[in-house]
Amino acid sequence: METIVFSLLNGIIYGLLLFMLSSGLTLIFSMMGVLNFAHASFYMLGAYFAYTVMGATNYWVALILAPIIVGVVGMGVERWGLRRVHANGHVAELLFTFGLAYLIDEIVKIVWGRTSVNYQVPDALNFPLFTIYNAQYSAYRIFILFVAIFMLCALWYLLKKTRAGLIIQAALTHPHMVGHLGHNVPAIFMGVFGAGCALAGLAGVIGGNYFITDPAMAVQMGPIVFVVVVVGGLGSLEGAFVAAMLIGLLQTFAISINASFADIFGFLGLSPTSEFGSITIASMAPMLPFLLLVLILIVRPTGLMGDREV
Amino acid sequence: MTNFKRAALAATVSVLAMAGSVSADTVKFAFIDPLSGPMGSSGDAGFTSFKLAAEHINAAGGVNGDQIEVVGYDNKVSPKESLVQLQKAIDSGARYILQGNGSSVAAAIIDAVNKHNARNPGEEVVYFNYAAVTPAFTNEACSFWHFRFDAHADMKMNAITDWIKSRDDIKKVYLIGQDYVFGEAVAAAALEQLSEKRPDIEIVGNELHPLAKVKDFTPYIQKIISSGADAVITGNWGSDMTLLVKAAADSGLKIPFLTFYGGSLGAVAALGEGSIGTLYQVTEGITNLEASDDQYALIEEYKDRFPDYDYYYHRAFVTMNMFDMAAEKAGSNDPIAVAKALEGLTYDGAYGTVTMRAEDHQAQQPLYISTVSKDVKYGVDNIDLGWALVDNGTIPATAAEAPTTCKMERPE
């Protein structure tokens, strides 16, 4: 029972953090039709900006300011980089974001050093909130949960219930029509790109001090975010949400399962000492998202809720 | 005519270049370890220690009159990348290789060095291993070209299990480690030695997690909590160490963590005062032991020069000083001569005598078990907490010593 409760809590938090990252990516994909390889780099920038801002002021200022700075950087990238490259087609855009990821990586190493920075959870949130089954649950984890849910609701409201969201959605699917109606489509795209980056930045602000803030965080987070977006269906926000939760829960549940293949397939004569039989489910946890990716691509190439082929 | 001039020029240049390499008065050391990425801080702390040690030797007149140069090669903890870097290092004239982070990398380097030396007589390279502690490297897989200056996993585990023997309140132990050859070696050593020294202890968990990939250890910590363990033994290093104890602190898990590398950068800072009496490490020396004024000056100089790190890689200084001694003794900087002179060499280090056992090239030295304390001379991670020796924490070299199965082939 306690295993289930813990795995549920941890899985939901990890899933929400993944969603925060992938929602921006999937928004940008709907717009450009191309995956933004540098997306995880904006996540990293969020953490580093927050670290710097927190050093000068405090965490709460950083929580607001850092995502905004990341968003502004993102808008700049769109305005002076991607928009020019766009004329040369999708491959050029893809290569541009690919190069940008490396560029940001190197810049971060030059500015903040090659090793991790001491970006700490603020004291006001650094206490155990409650204790279940002898394990304390830190207030910061619950804070992550609330920030993510707040962001989720805000995003949903903005896109589905406001006029601005209506225009954005229209511009994503029918840019020419929206342009003819008198809206400034390039400005909308710039805004969407900036907002997507800001979301990644926000994930960095709340994830960076919970995990670790170092120049490798983008590279480590990159693949899993792509898995979420592809499994969920490219360009589908609902899909990204379902996929992020699925992967978050899958990974945390797998870690808590001690059974090995021999325990499961023992009836087939698999011995617990054999190479294959001794593999435990827990040790396979990091592989599961990628297994899911392969399976989804075979069974349902559009992803769980997407409407276009990868 | 122009052609002739060009040929003459080329000939002159190449002769000059050859003359340059013959009369080289630097001994090149290649430091092959992660210098970026999640394990970058571990590598960089080692690199800075070796550089400082080399500077001290150079300032004192060098090795047989030659200057030491330590060049860093970033291997990203990948065995494949390490071999590329190793070749690059050898091509640029390095005859001594320094590496420590990751036994998977060390195994690849030992193999590559063995092959290189067999194929290129007269251009041998020697590998000084300062931290890869899988026991096999000085047992069944031992090599004349490999010297290990760190105590290996069985020796460190010996120290830990000896200490557990004196703690009757520990009845359930949880093993967690990184999923590669080193993590497996640690778990195997713990299982074997605990069943021998404390057969009443129950091993309530034996877990391996992927190396440098886990971001959130909370699920693992919650498994440890529900197992009811009284102590955790781990060989984790780098960010895996820091994140593990960070997750433990957040979950309020207050049991002893017996570690090889609790001194990893940031682990103490992550735990804060919660690390007192919960975080233990076994090392070849800690800054807060009684030592000579020279040693204190060295510790302070290191901190002054590299404020991001603490004086942690004492063995880096031991390695370089023993190299210096061996080369002076051999009267040559040639790798074979140095390697032969290193065998059986005894060095009076700051924290006890270090002997390079000739049989298997495993350094024998006293080990110290320490835990975090407030009342210390030198703090770590730029806070006022630091490592202090625990009761019965000194393990003399003779007690830490482990037998070897090494059958070494030596060049004549």
Q: Does A113 touch chain B (CB under 8 A)?
A: yes
d(CA B365, CA B150): 9
Q: Could you report the per-residue pLDDT of A68-93, keeping only the tens digit for each?
A: 999 999 999 999 998 898 888 888 98
Residue B289 lies in a domain: no
**Domain shared by B347 and B309, yes or no:** yes
Which whole number is the average pLDDT over A25-48? 88
Residues B262 and B332 reside in one and the same domain: no
- Evaluate whether residue B188 is within a structural domain: yes
Å between B37 CA and nearest CA of chain A: 5
Strands B67-74 and B26-33: parallel
Residue B315 placed within a domain: yes
Q: How many CA atoms lie within 13 A of B348 on its CB side?
A: 2
* Among candidate residues A119, A98, A83, the one with its CA nearest the CA of residue A207: A119
Q: Are strands B352-356 and B363-364 parallel, antiparallel or unpaired?
A: antiparallel
Which CATH number characterizes residue B96's domain?
3.40.50.2300
pLDDT at B16: 47
pLDDT of residue B238: 80
Sequence-ordered strand ranges (E) for B106-236? 126-129, 146-148, 172-178, 202-209, 231-234
* B142 shares its domain with B162: no
Residue B237 near residue B101, CB atoms below 8 Å: yes
A contacts of B225 (beta carbons < 8 Å): 133-135
Q: In this complex, how many residue pairs, one in chain A and one in chain B, have their CB atoms less than 8 Å apart? A: 95
The pLDDT tens digits for B255-285 are 999 999 888 777 887 777 878 888 999 999 9
Q: Does residue B389 sit in the same domain as residue B360? A: no
User: How would you label A145-179 residue by residue, b for 16+ Cβ within 10 Å and e otherwise?
Assistant: bebbeebbeebeeebeeeeeeebbebbbeebeebe
The answer to whether position B288 is within a domain reads no
pLDDT at A31 over 80: no
Residue B20 confidence (pLDDT): 41
Chain A residue with minimal CA distance to B225? A135
A172 phi and psi angles, rounded to 5 deg: -65, -40
B94 in a structural domain: yes
**Cα Rg of chain A (Å, integer):** 21
Nearest to B225 among A134, A220, A283 (CB): A134
pLDDT digits (tens, 9 = 90+) for B331-344: 999 999 999 999 99
Structural domain span for residue B310: 9-151+294-365
Contact between B217 and B241 under an 8 Å Cβ cutoff? The reply is no
Cα(A263)–Cα(B95) distance, rounded to whole angstroms? 51
Q: Is residue B411 part of a domain?
A: no
Give the per-residue pLDDT at B21: 43
pLDDT of residue B22: 40
B27 bridge partner residues: B68
Regarding whether B355 and B263 lie in a shared domain, the answer is no
What number of other Cβ atoms are within 10 A of residue B44's Cβ? 24
Neighbours of A38 (CB within 10 A): 27
Residue B156 makes CB contacts below 8 A (sequence gap 6+) with: B133, B260, B282, B367
Rounded to the nearest integer, the mean pLDDT of chain B is 89
Kindly state whether residues B21 and B118 are assigned to the same domain. yes
Same domain, B56 and B147: yes
B249 plus B388 within the same structural domain: yes
Q: Are residues B264 and B299 in the same domain?
A: no
The answer to whether the CB atoms of B208 and A255 lie below 8 A apart is: no
Inspect the interface and report whether the beta carbons of A118 and B252 lie closer than 8 Å: no
Bridge partners (DSSP) listed for residue B146: B127
B361 lies in the same domain as B394: no
Domain total in chain B: 2
What's the predicted TM-score (pTM) here?
0.81
Residue B405 in domain: no
- Asked whether the beta carbons of A191 and A75 are under 8 A apart, the reply is yes
Q: Is residue B76 part of a domain?
A: yes
Indicate whether B17 pLDDT > 60.
no
Q: How far apart are CA A28 and CA B395, in angstroms?
A: 60
Q: Residue B232 and residue B13: Cα distance in Å, rounded? A: 62
Residue B225 at interface with chain A, using a CB cutoff of 8 Å = yes
Q: Which of A200, A293, A204 is nearest to A246 (CA)?
A: A293
> Do B232 and B135 share a structural domain?
no
Q: Is the ipTM of this complex over 0.90?
A: no
Radius of gyration of chain B (CA): 22
Q: Are residues B268 and B384 in the same domain?
A: yes
At B7 the pLDDT is 56
Report pLDDT for B41.
Answer: 80
